[in-house]
Amino acid sequence: MSVVGLARGVILQALRDALDLSLGREREDALRFFEDGRLEFWAEVGELSAEKVRRALSKLLEKQRERMKRRGRGIRIISWD
């Protein structure tokens, strides 16, 4: 596996963990991944735009929030705006 592929895999796993409501601390750590500079590092190595990845996560979290709202539940939403 190339370094670029590894970096993209790290970002993909962080996305999965951030969206997994069954995770406790792991989910919180995944959400911090997108806030504390780790995303910028891995996005650069993975030849991706950190901002585009963040926007994609925001859209996925918003969709998840809407689904949960329809079910009568709430979840923590983060915003980089």
Q: Tens digits of per-residue pLDDT, 12-67? A: 999 999 999 899 899 999 999 999 999 999 999 999 999 999 999 999 999 988 88
Does the pLDDT value for residue 75 go beyond 60? Answer: no
Tell me, yes or no, whether 27 lies in a domain. Answer: yes
Tell me, yes or no, whether 60 lies in a domain. Answer: yes
- Of residues 25 and 77, more confidence is placed in 25
Integer Cα distance of 25 and 46 in angstroms: 25
Tell me, yes or no, whether 44 lies in a domain. Answer: yes
Q: Is 72 helix (H, G, I), strand (E, B) or coil?
A: coil
Question: pTM here?
Answer: 0.79
Range of the domain at 65: 3-70
Tell me, yes or no, whether 81 lies in a domain. Answer: no
Q: Is 28 helix (H, G, I), strand (E, B) or coil?
A: helix
- Count of domains for the chain: 1
Other CB atoms within 10 A of residue 80 CB: 10
